[in-house]
Amino acid sequence: MLTLHHAWRSSASRRVRLCLEEKGLAYESRTVDMANLEHHSPEYLKINPNGVVPALIHDGRPLYESGTICEYLDEVFPEPPLRPADAYGRATMRNWIRHADERIGNLIIFNWAHHLAKTASRWSDEELAERLKKIPSKERQEAWIRAARKPYTDEERAAARAKLVEMLGRMEKALSETAWLAGANYSLADIALVPFVKRIEEEIAPDAATAEKHPRVTKWWKSIQARPAFARARIGPFLEETG
Ligand SMILES: N[C@@H](CCC(=O)N[C@@H](CS)C(=O)NCC(=O)O)C(=O)O
């Protein structure tokens, strides 16, 4: 039995949903109300001590970190395989996953501006201080302070955008050498990058996600969106999703 604690708009949650759907696995969906900070509640912290989504419970045992969850799913449910058969391919795949993990903060700058920052800006100083106490990491406390009181500047947004666009360049290069990011087959490396390309294309830098600038990435993106699992994973337009 699989239970996924997630949010529809969360990029890390989207990664795990796509993996589950590619595997054809049924799971119970539990959405986490991030605007009400349900992910900082004592009950949720027992599942994910980092206080972020997603978390997956498999047969009563909790797992967190989207990259770790996806690798776990591929080990436990090996068909269809989503990791390269060779060690070099798997190493390449893990570097893509690490790259995605390292850059996720740049997405948050754009994603939170829409809903979480609006909610947080309405909190009083006392409410903010109370909420910060429940956040387990300094880094995320800082993110909530930024959301509530210090919106990201144009320079910060431009720097984050540049880092995200750079990812497309790195993907373009890889895709000139192999059909998919980690070799000849679709893998967890491709899945890790999907939530990024989705947000870059729809809002963050649509001018960079074009066939003229990144032809191979554009082709890659089209073929991923055509996969039946993509529709089932509900990686829809950010602003049309709630939760
Ligand atoms: N490295 C983590 C990142 C998870 C993460 O950043 N989740 C975001 C949503 S995409 C979150 O829960 N943010 C809420 C918060 O920081 O309070 C993973 O891959 O699972």
Whether the bond into 195 is cis, omega within 30 of 0: no
144 domain-assigned: no
The answer to whether residues 59 and 101 belong to one domain is: no
The answer to whether residues 157 and 203 belong to one domain is: yes
Residue predicted with more confidence, 191 or 236: 191
Average pLDDT estimate for 123-142: 95
pLDDT above 90 for 239? no
Residue of the nearest CA to atom 10 in ligand 1? 10
Query: Which ligand 1 atom is the nearest neighbour of the CA of 69?
Result: 20
The burial class, CB within 10 Å (0-12 / 13-18 / 19+), for 119 is middle
Range of the domain at 54: 2-76
Residue of the nearest CA to atom 11 in ligand 1? 52
Can you give 26-45 as a three-state secondary structure string? Answer: CCEEEECCCCCCHHHCHHHH
E strand or H helix that includes residue 24 = none
Query: Which ligand 1 atom is the nearest neighbour of the CA of 67?
Result: 19
Instruction: For residue range 36-87, list pLDDT tens digits in order.
Output: 999 999 999 999 999 999 999 999 999 999 999 999 999 999 999 999 999 9
The answer to whether residues 161 and 70 belong to one domain is: no
141 domain-assigned: no
The residue type at 104: I
State whether residue 62 is helix, strand or coil.
strand
The answer to whether residues 27 and 102 belong to one domain is: no
101 lines ligand 1 (CB under 6 A): yes
The answer to whether residues 92 and 26 belong to one domain is: no
Looking at the structure of the chain, the number of domains it has is 2
State whether residue 19 is helix, strand or coil.
helix
Residue 60 CA, distance from chain mean position: 24
The answer to whether residues 101 and 190 belong to one domain is: yes
The answer to whether residues 99 and 197 belong to one domain is: yes
132 domain-assigned: no
CA of 53 to the centre of ligand 1 (A): 5
Query: Which ligand 1 atom is the nearest neighbour of the CA of 40?
Result: 17
On whether the CB atoms of residues 168 and 209 are closer than 8 A, the answer is yes
In this structure, how many other beta carbons lie within 10 angstroms of the beta carbon of residue 228?
Answer: 10
CA of 140 to the centre of ligand 1 (A): 9
Query: Which ligand 1 atom is the nearest neighbour of the CA of 11?
Result: 10
CATH number of the domain that residue 94 is part of: 1.20.1050.10
**pLDDT at residue 18, rounded to an integer:** 98
CA of 215 to the centre of ligand 1 (A): 30
The answer to whether residues 12 and 40 belong to one domain is: yes
Residue of the nearest CA to atom 1 in ligand 1? 65
Q: How far apart are CA 45 and CA 57, in angstroms?
A: 13
Output the pTM of the full model: 0.97
